[in-house]
Structure 1
């Protein structure tokens, strides 16, 4: 059986993986879907020190204290920044990296730089609460921004989104051992609509062709959970087709 660590994206929490987590656990696998510092159920713990490094360190600590090894490490959206950093800092604990419609950063690149067209408009709505610069203020209809069209599911998600510390998006990712991190196998599960903005040849080359797409909204772990689970089970089983 495999061990999965599922890292959420901006404005989300571990809650967004519930449909995926239940299915993987029902198949006998171990699943961790933490809410990153300041996110999800930790939103009342926001402070100015929460940035990309804080989120990376939190997942690295989870791997250490739970003594997790050969992990299938999954990151959605902004979570691609986090899992790249985690795999760089704890490569001995990672068996496979999975980018779930996720950022795929270069060394020294922030999410703001990496996905400028999507993130800079978000920056324009930056606001400050209790000394913390925040973006993605929760509001009715935010689920539509993430491609959730089912009304019931959209309401459920809208009730759970939390603000995102801007420092997570603005801090550059600094890799310490990029060669070792890149040697860890990787896969990309993406939404068809995001293909035009991606360096697809690079993804295919670095993943040895392990790139799959599905025609759904950005929050594919909510809109197409069974498809995501099936692909993750392929990864765990070493299947590439």
Structure 2
């Protein structure tokens, strides 16, 4: 039996993992969907004081309060940043960290640092300052999300659920840099790439071979990799398949990034 801690991406709450958690429990595992401060049923706690470190504390609190000692921590999209920060804090409670169609976190970098060019980050910050009281970063309309993070395979009902339940993201969670001690590097890792969102094992290999330090670091840790033939939101578009991949990852299966090819 494996205990999975499921950290959602931006604008989402623990509700996003409903179907995946059911699949994992049906397979005999434990599932702990996390709702980060200011989102989901905790949206009443949102405010300018909420930053990335708040969300790191949220994940640590789940690991500690549930007394988990060999958890598989899954971070989807933005969720990999608080997931990584938490695992760095309590590595002894974690058996594996799973990057689900996400950026590769780096010490001293914020989500916006990793996701967009500096000019785009300034535009987002300026828009939120003018329209979001300086801290509310609303989820884009669903019909615009597809251009940012592919919705392939997501049903009309789930698109409506995204629009209905998605909450404004406190901007501090995207601008506060992640701080790591390096303890997370001792924890085995897995990457799950959603191919219809433009991510793949081949692309990760290319970045590794080009000398990208983030991907070279993952390879040095012996990261295992999987692909899902779906868009960026597999918890909605392919929950059963995602659950099977998470179970396989927990067992240590998956492809490995090859050593850097020279010449």
TM-score above 0.5, yes or no: yes
For residues 3-42 of structure 1, give each alpha carbon's deviation from its aligned partner in whole angstroms, at most 9, with x where no partner exists: 0000001111111111111100111111100110001111
Once residues 123 and 9 of structure 1 are traced to their aligned partners in structure 2, the CA distance between those partners, rounded to angstroms, is 19
8 Å contact kept, 1:135–1:164: yes
User: Could you tell me which residue of structure 2 aligns to residue 215 of structure 1?
Assistant: 229
How far is the alpha carbon of 1:124 from its aligned partner?
A: 5.4
Once residues 100 and 227 of structure 2 are traced to their aligned partners in structure 1, the CA distance between those partners, rounded to angstroms, is 10
More deviation, 128-137/212-221:
128-137
Q: Does 1:229 align with 2:243?
A: yes
User: Could you tell me which residue of structure 1 aligns to residue 167 of structure 2?
Assistant: 162
More deviation, 23-32/58-67:
58-67
Q: Report the secondary structure of 1:97's partner residue.
A: strand
Relative to 1, partners in 2 of residues 1:205 and 1:127: Cα closer, same or farther, differing over 3 Å?
same
8 Å contact kept, 2:224–2:253: no
How far is the alpha carbon of 1:65 from its aligned partner?
A: 1.5
Answer with 1 or 2: which has the greater Rg. 2
User: Could you tell me which residue of structure 2 aligns to residue 116 of structure 1?
Assistant: 116
More deviation, 226-235/190-199:
190-199
* Number of residue pairs the alignment of both structures matches: 239
8 Å contact kept, 1:71–1:96: yes
User: Could you tell me which residue of structure 1 aligns to residue 77 of structure 2?
Assistant: 77
Once residues 206 and 100 of structure 1 are traced to their aligned partners in structure 2, the CA distance between those partners, rounded to angstroms, is 19
For residues 58-93 of structure 1, give each alpha carbon's deviation from its aligned partner in whole angstroms, at most 9, with x where no partner exists: 111111111111000000001111111011101010
User: Could you tell me which residue of structure 1 aligns to residue 199 of structure 2?
Assistant: 194
Q: Which runs of 5+ in 1 are unaligned?
A: none
User: Could you tell me which residue of structure 2 aligns to residue 182 of structure 1?
Assistant: 185
Q: Which runs of 5+ in 2 are unaligned?
A: 210-214, 256-263
What is the alpha-carbon root mean square deviation over aligned residues?
2.4
Once residues 226 and 36 of structure 1 are traced to their aligned partners in structure 2, the CA distance between those partners, rounded to angstroms, is 24
TM-score when scaled to structure 1?
0.89
Counterparts of residues 18-167 of structure 1 (less than 5 Å) = 18-117=18-117, 120=121, 122-123=124-125, 125-127=127-129, 133-137=135-139, 139=141, 141=143, 144=146, 145-148=148-151, 149-167=154-172
TM-score when scaled to structure 2?
0.82
